Amino acid sequence: MFIRSYGCQMNVYDSERMAELLRPHGYRSVETAEEADLVILNTCHIREKAAEKVFSDLGRLKPLKAASNASGRDLTIAVAGCVAQAEGGEIQRRMPLVDIVVGPQSYHRLPEILARRDRLAGGGVDTDFAAEEKFDVLAAAREAQGPAAFLTIQEGCDKFCTFCVVPYTRGAEISRSAAAIEREARDLVEKGVREITLLGQNVNAWRSAPAPGGGGGIRALPDGSWGLGQLCRHLAEIEGLARLRFTTSHPRDMDDDLIDAFATVEKLMPFLHLPVQSGSDRILEGMNRGHTAAHYLTLIDRLRRARPDIALSSDFIVGFPGETTEDFEATLALVDRVGFASAYCFKYSRRPGTPAASMGRQVAEPDKEERLARLLALVEAQRVAFNSSFVGQELPVLFEKRGRRAGQLIGRSPYLQSVHAAVPQSMLGKIAAARIVSASANALAADASAAREGIRVF
């Protein structure tokens, strides 16, 4: 099988889970579509470009499918992910070579769908919204690949930002139970995982079910339920787990207890991706973000008080309908004020069915281009400044994988920076202090001698 991911971390997560589900059924991962008898395109609908890539990739698979049919070999093509959810019917109409369409909520049924297809030689669209047993099926098949793992704790979104398709492709917000999350986390740690990143489209909207009759400890919410801060405290007690992270958060759900967790939970790493999208209140309102620029800045101040070294990251959209030069300047001012460790910047993309797509005063493409270039330059400068500030310092690095050069390992700092170091292979999966000798926009380097001298294994 050959699986391609087009989207966010949850999309990549889903691809990994699909591979795990199919392995016991005799599917083995291969490097190219040419070698595969099953190709899964795990698609993303967030921006026009991402969604269109799928159709051009499907076009490229046509000759492959024809050749395999001609040779009597059966090549199955499946479209999964958020485009499947949003445009399942259209895909099957436009692209008859697609055998299976499966949405993000039903891909755990892939083994069954493939088996049924074998028996009936028929296709199938499965994009039902039933969160039901999905997580249990996935957890049971879970393998650990390396010392850092993702764990989905929350899915879906009820926020309905006017530009965004996610509430339509991923459905309503749902939270997994604390007990199921703890079980999966312990299982991962037993399999050698040292760092867990909790995942959710709105991960900090996670809530445990209300405790019967309220209660649930001093940190619990009035109805006895837990928020993400309390879940972090709870998971941090797992022995052998060294690091916790979570992504992606929404400013509206950044509550006091979660901010407090950054001050008090040592295993919670000092990095937070907190998308703000724009620095202009007028635009934020048009986006239905439910927060102002000032509210965001207050959150940042409080986070920095709780954890002075916290590294911050964000998403930005330039050229949202009605965005003027002044609005855009307000975004630059916000970036200047915060000082981000990294940020993702996007040109607004009109998505069918979302309220912003039919708003007046759409911004012209050249203006979007120009604003994007200016924002990217500012963000890049901040990223370089942030990374450079560590040169000469020692950082604890969790070594996750082999680098491209022989004898090189790549790991992550607490601030989610990639660190390249010439250290022995035996350091894989371990956390060690490495002295940083140089920095670029994308990575830090710890040189061989510095790493050898400076290394302390935790």
Instruction: Give me the residues that bind ligand SF4 (CB under 6 A), please.
Output: 157, 159-161, 164, 166-167, 201-202, 250
Residue written as token pair 């309908």: 321
Per CB under 6 A, contacts with ligand F3S among 196-235 are: 201
In which order are the strands placed within the sheet that holds 243-247?
148-152, 195-199, 243-247
Q: Using alpha carbons, select from 247, 248, 253 the residue that is nearest to residue 227.
A: 253
Binding mask of the shown chain, residues 238 to 267, with x at each position contacting ligand SAH by CB under 6 A? ----------x-x-----------------
Tokens of 180: 């199921």
Pairing mode, strands 195-199 and 243-247:
parallel
Q: Select 17 or 347, whichever has its Cβ closest to ligand SAH.
A: 347
Count the alpha carbons within 13 Å of 89 in the hemisphere toward its beta carbon.
1
**Residue 268 binds ligand F3S, judged by CB under 6 A:** no
Q: Which does 207 bind (CB under 5 to 8 A by kind): ligand SAH, ligand SF4, ligand F3S, none?
A: none
Quote the least distance from Cβ 12 to ligand F3S, whole Å. 9
Q: Which helix (H) or strand (E) holds 418?
A: strand 418-421
Q: Of 2, 6, 135, 163, which one interacts with ligand SAH (CB under 6 A)?
A: 163
Q: Select 175 or 387, whichever has its Cβ closest to ligand F3S.
A: 175
How many residues form the binding site for ligand F3S (CB under 6 A)?
14
Backbone angles phi, psi at 67, to 5 degrees: -65, -40
Per CB under 6 A, contacts with ligand F3S among 142-201 are: 165-166, 169-170, 201
Quote the least distance from Cβ 87 to ligand SF4, whole Å. 18
Q: Are 88 and 99 in contact (CB under 8 A)?
A: no
Q: Which does 113 bind (CB under 5 to 8 A by kind): ligand SAH, ligand SF4, ligand F3S, none?
A: none
DSSP 236: H
**Residue 348 binds ligand SAH, judged by CB under 6 A:** yes
Q: Cβ of 177: how many Cβ atoms within 10 Å?
A: 12
Phi-psi region of 324 (alpha: psi -120 to 50; beta: other; left: phi over 0): beta
Beta bridge partners of 93: none
Per CB under 6 A, contacts with ligand F3S among 36-65 are: 44-46
Beta bridge partners of 139: none
Quote the least distance from Cβ 349 to ligand SAH, whole Å. 4
Residue type, 377: A
Quote the least distance from Cβ 50 to ligand F3S, whole Å. 6
Judged by CB under 6 A, the stretch of 4-12, 67-75, 381-389, 411-419 that binds ligand F3S is 4-12
Pairing mode, strands 418-421 and 409-412:
antiparallel
- Helices and strands in the chain, H and E counts: 14, 19
Pairing mode, strands 342-347 and 394-402:
unpaired
Q: Select 317 or 338, whichever has its Cβ closest to ligand SF4.
A: 317
Quote the least distance from Cβ 165 to ligand F3S, whole Å. 6
Q: Select 44 or 343, whichever has its Cβ closest to ligand F3S.
A: 44
Q: Which does 47 bind (CB under 5 to 8 A by kind): ligand SAH, ligand F3S, ligand SF4, none?
A: ligand SAH
**Residue 47 binds ligand SAH, judged by CB under 6 A:** yes
Q: Are 300 and 264 in contact (CB under 8 A)?
A: no
Q: Which does 317 bind (CB under 5 to 8 A by kind): ligand F3S, ligand SAH, ligand SF4, none?
A: ligand SAH
In angstroms and rounded to an integer, the radius of gyration of the C-alpha atoms of the chain is 23
**Residue 278 binds ligand SAH, judged by CB under 6 A:** no
**Residue 276 binds ligand SAH, judged by CB under 6 A:** no
Cis peptide before 248 (omega within 30 of 0): yes
Q: Using alpha carbons, select from 197, 182, 164, 189 the residue that is nearest to residue 16.
A: 197
Q: Of 20, 315, 329, 380, which one interacts with ligand SAH (CB under 6 A)?
A: 315
Pairwise CA distance, residues 308 & 332, whole Å: 23
Quote the least distance from Cβ 214 to ligand SF4, whole Å. 29
Largest CA distance in the chain: 67
Pairwise CA distance, residues 61 & 57, whole Å: 6
Q: How far is CA 349 from CA 7, 119, 167, 248, 303, in A?
A: 15, 42, 16, 20, 31
Per CB under 6 A, contacts with ligand F3S among 80-109 are: 81-82
Q: Select 8 or 423, whichever has its Cβ closest to ligand F3S.
A: 8
**Residue 10 binds ligand F3S, judged by CB under 6 A:** yes
Residues in contact with ligand F3S by the rule CB under 6 A: 7-8, 10-11, 44-46, 81-82, 165-166, 169-170, 201
Residues in contact with ligand SAH by the rule CB under 6 A: 46-47, 163-164, 166, 201-202, 248, 250, 275, 277, 315, 317, 346, 348-349, 351
